[in-house]
Amino acid sequence: MLADLFLAALIVNQDADPSPSVVVEDHASHQVPQPGSVWRLRAGEHEVERAGDTYRSGDCATEAALPVGYPAPTAPGAIEIKSYPVVRRAQVSGEGQDRGAQSGFWPLFQHIQRNDIAMTAPVEMIYDGVTDEDAPSDHTVEEGADWTMSFLYRTFENGPTGTDGSVQIIDAEPVVVVSVGVSGPLWGPTIREKAGELMAWIEDSGEWEVAGDLRTFGYNGPYVPNDRKWWEVQIPVRPVTETAPTPS
């Protein structure tokens, strides 16, 4: 599976100074979260706390720095609306969702090794057509592909955009998502269950609509016990645009 290949060569900053707990933005004053910000819809099992470049929530902890400007991980059990800024990422797309972990991981891992790029968290996996066949993919999944796996650059200075064999390096556009935090192993049935929970929230809200393909974030590598692994399942969203009545 994805996480069982992920972060095998992570280096954790053990000397990071503790930082304040994650701040959740007040959303009364604008329509969508500001880049890097979070609106909490449902509290999780534990708060998310930050220590330097890593985060912890209960027994779950990240193992590497997030891209600069990225909001903190969503606590297991919590649901949040989150706004992500532009990020440079290396990505590989392919067919056959069950083989994405193996066929996507190695080209990406070799790419960061060749270019001396530090591993970050999370590893992102986007699945084409899982949420809504009419939802725009916004260049996240190549035409004809079933999935796209991405390693995220911490900063734009990590390397230029372009291609490196089968790896594409692009600047992914900003995105707003509704996200649920998950702990434990993340198998297909769990992904479908969490995606259904998010889709139900979107439909019930009356204020948001699907704006892209289902994606998952994985924050841990193979040496973390399954019951302590930290994930997010996310669906890109946008505010519903009210259509003006058609003149009679």
Residue 20 within a domain: no
Question: For residue 111, which phi and psi values (nearest 5 degrees)?
Answer: -60, -50
The more confident residue out of 138 and 23 is 23
What tens digit of pLDDT does each residue of 194-240 get?
Answer: 999 999 999 999 999 999 999 999 999 889 999 999 999 999 999 99
pTM of the model: 0.83
Hey, which residues does 80 pair with through a beta bridge?
A: 40, 179
The single-letter code of the amino acid at 54 is T
Angle 85-22-159 (CA atoms, 0-180°, nearest 5)?
35
Residue 16 within a domain: no
Residue 112's pLDDT band (cuts 50, 70, 90): very high
On the 0-12 / 13-18 / 19+ scale of CB atoms within 10 A, 32 is middle
Residue 22's pLDDT band (cuts 50, 70, 90): low
Q: What is the C-alpha separation between 92 and 100, in angstroms, rounded? A: 9
Q: What percent of the chain has pLDDT over 90?
A: 65
What residue numbers bound the domain in which 173 lies? 1-6+30-240
Residue 161 within a domain: yes
User: Which of these, 178, 196, 198, 179, lies nearest to 238 by C-alpha position?
Assistant: 178
On the 0-12 / 13-18 / 19+ scale of CB atoms within 10 A, 200 is exposed
Cis (ω within 30 of 0) for the bond into 122?
yes
Which CATH number goes with the domain that contains 200? 3.20.80.10
Residue 162 within a domain: yes
Q: What is the C-alpha separation between 58 and 78, in angstroms, rounded? A: 13
Residue 17 within a domain: no
Can you give the pLDDT at residue 104? 87
Can you give the pLDDT at residue 9? 34
The total number of structural domains in the chain stands at 1
What tens digit of pLDDT does each residue of 48-92 get?
Answer: 999 999 999 999 999 999 999 999 999 999 999 999 999 999 999
Q: What is the C-alpha separation between 195 and 69, in angstroms, rounded? A: 25
Residue 15 within a domain: no
- H helices present in the chain, as ranges: 2-5, 100-114, 188-205
Q: What is the C-alpha separation between 215 and 224, in angstroms, rounded? A: 21
Angle 216-43-235 (CA atoms, 0-180°, nearest 5)?
25
Q: What is the C-alpha separation between 47 and 68, in angstroms, rounded? A: 21
Residue 149 within a domain: yes
Residue 175 within a domain: yes
The answer to whether 121 touches 62, Cβ cutoff 8 Å, is yes
The H helix count followed by the E strand count for the chain is 3, 14
Angle 30-32-34 (CA atoms, 0-180°, nearest 5)?
85
